[in-house]
Amino acid sequence: MKKSRLLAQGLLKMLSGMLLVGLVLFLPAGTWNYCNGWLFCGLLFLPMLVLGALLLWKAPALLEKRLNTKEQEKTQIAVVAVSSLLFVAAFVAAGLDFRFGWTHVPAWLVCLAAVLQLAAYGLYAEVMRENAYLSRTVEVQENQQVIDTGLYGIVRHPMYTSTILLFLAMPLVLGSWVSFAIMLLFPVVIVFRIRNEEKVLEEGLAGYREYKQRVRCRLLPFIW
């Protein structure tokens, strides 16, 4: 029964996402004949469907956490709101860019961005395999432990690394430099999220301060 509920909830969220993307992408484009838009939708939703099915089959508890998007921290509520605005603005800009021909991304770069988008999904999936506590919200869960193996032994927030890669690849797949310029603000938003999240983890998760001493970098090895 629980899996049936999760399946229904997951499909509803995915269909809602597809509807939202359709509205903010193809409506500004003024046409359905937007090849980059269809390429992006395929790269976005097909891996999402596969990953969701795998989680439902192998890790339904993790899927349930990923479907929960209700933040409790005030800082994180603001971060989610700003991220959502950036997401919508970038999509609308990409549609308008296609409609009026403001900028052009070469085909080879679109293909490279498509590969990067898939690679980001692969990285995201690996992070979820390593960390069963990977909630969509910033919180300390019951019996949660510090994960310091695999990617977590290289950077403290590999999920955000994959998310940034994903979000910066998206506008290039859509063929819009205007959209890409908007998305350049996303890493800044992630920095604010990480600073607040680490404060929460230091206060509530045993061993996290020691983990920070062992793994110095947050997002990029040897950089930050």
pLDDT digits 0-9 by tens, 168-194: 999 999 999 999 999 999 999 999 888
What local confidence, expressed as pLDDT, does residue 73 receive? 62
> Mind listing the pLDDT tens digit for each residue in 78-126?
878 888 899 899 999 999 999 999 999 999 999 999 999 999 988 888 8
Tell me the C-alpha distance between 183 and 68, whole Å. 24
> Please, what sign has the CA dihedral across residues 31, 182, 166, 12?
negative
The angle at the Cα of 56, spanning 52 to 57, to the nearest 5 degrees, equals 120
Neighbours of 138 (CB within 10 A): 21
- pLDDT tens, 113-141? 999 999 998 888 888 777 766 655 555 55
Terminal-to-terminal C-alpha distance of the chain: 44
Q: Which fold has domain 2-214?
A: Four Helix Bundle (Hemerythrin (Met), subunit A) (1.20.120)
pLDDT at 37: 95
Work out the angle at residue 223's Cα, subtended by the Cα atoms of residues 220 and 224, and round it to the nearest 5 degrees: 70
Cα distance between residue 52 and residue 97, in whole Å? 32
Contact criterion met (CB below 8 Å) for 191 and 82: no
Can you give the residue ranges of every domain in the chain? 2-214
User: Comparing C-alpha atoms, which of 52, 1, 41, 38 is closest to residue 17?
Assistant: 41
Contacts of 189 (CB under 8 A, 6+ apart): 79, 82, 83, 86
Q: What is the pLDDT of residues 3-30, one digit of tens each?
A: 677 777 777 877 888 888 889 999 999 9
